[in-house]
Amino acid sequence: MTQKNNWQTLQDEVRKLYELFDRKTMECIDGYMHAGGLIHCGKGCRSCCNLTVNCTFPEAMGVAAALTEEQAGRVKAHAARLLEHIGEVSDLKSYLRMQRRIIGFCPLLLDDGACGVYGARPFSCRSLLSTKESHWCGADFGELSAAEKTAFIDSLDRSAVSFPMHYLATTRDLGQQLEARAAIGMAARFGFSLSGNLPFLIYLEREHHLSKVIPQGCRVTMNVLEQSGLFHPFLTMLDEA
């Protein structure tokens, strides 16, 4: 199979996984609400778009293909900020803090709070369904008092959420399972999978055409990223099959 066909069939697989996920998610929401629960997500509530969003490279390719030039420009500027500040982080905690406090919101978020690539958004975004008001999705728990944290924890429905978070567990688990299938599909075709920071992976595809390098294998891809100053373990994770 040619490189182009490999990517094409992989993209088709990912699209089918999204359809499956969206169908199952509707059932999960119906079941949760039927049992008296409430999902607070809605168009314009943007708080979770300030979190670090990771995804597989095939998912990022789908988003990259859907971008306007204006969106691509914003992704490029976002990636430049990431590269400027990534050297300041020493561990995962400081990376997540840097993302939230310095880098800021996803560059694909529209001014009205809607997602600019809604149909192509990755599993990480699809699978976060909030059982609490949206301000909790953007809360910095490091800044809450012990009493506030305890009140939050006590308010969670442990039978429904990914404890100690407030997101619905069924959709989060399903999103992770289907995301893993996208990674397996990539590894089956190219001998390794690549995942990482969503805007950064989009940038690698839009500006550096990484999908043309990947068929040469894990080692070559890693070398290209390292030699171009584009590798960082929090931004790009390569996993050899």
> Which residues of this chain interact with ligand SF4, rule CB under 6 A?
49, 53, 106, 108-109, 115, 117, 121, 125
Name the token pair of 48.
């979770």
d(CA 133, CA 225): 40
CB of 40 to ligand SF4, least distance (A): 15
Which is closer to ligand SF4, CB of 106 or CB of 218? 106
User: What minimum distance in Å lies between the beta carbon of 23 and ligand SF4?
Assistant: 19
Is 169 within 8 Å of 162 (Cβ atoms)?
yes
The Cα-based distances of 202 to 34, 91, 198, 222 in angstroms read: 38, 23, 6, 17
User: Which structure tokens are listed for 115?
Assistant: 């997602």
Q: In the bound complex, what is the minimum distance in angstroms from residue 108's beta carbon to ligand SF4? A: 4
Rounded alpha-carbon distances, angstroms, from residue 83 to 43, 101, 191, 228: 30, 15, 27, 12
Least separation in angstroms between residue 112's CB and ligand SF4 is 11
Task: Give the three-state DSSP class for 233.
Answer: coil
Report how far residue 217's alpha carbon sits from residue 240's, in angstroms, rounded to the nearest whole number.
9
Q: Between residues 10 and 106, which has the closer beta carbon with respect to ligand SF4?
A: 106
- Smallest gap from Cβ 134 to ligand SF4, in A, equals 12
Pick the closer one to ligand SF4 by CB: 125 or 235.
Answer: 125
Q: For residues 53 and 210, which CB has a smaller minimum distance to ligand SF4 in the complex?
A: 53
Comparison of 24 and 74: residue with beta carbon closer to ligand SF4: 74
Question: CB atoms < 10 A from the CB of 61, how many?
Answer: 24
State the sign of the Cα–Cα–Cα–Cα dihedral 131, 56, 53, 219.
positive
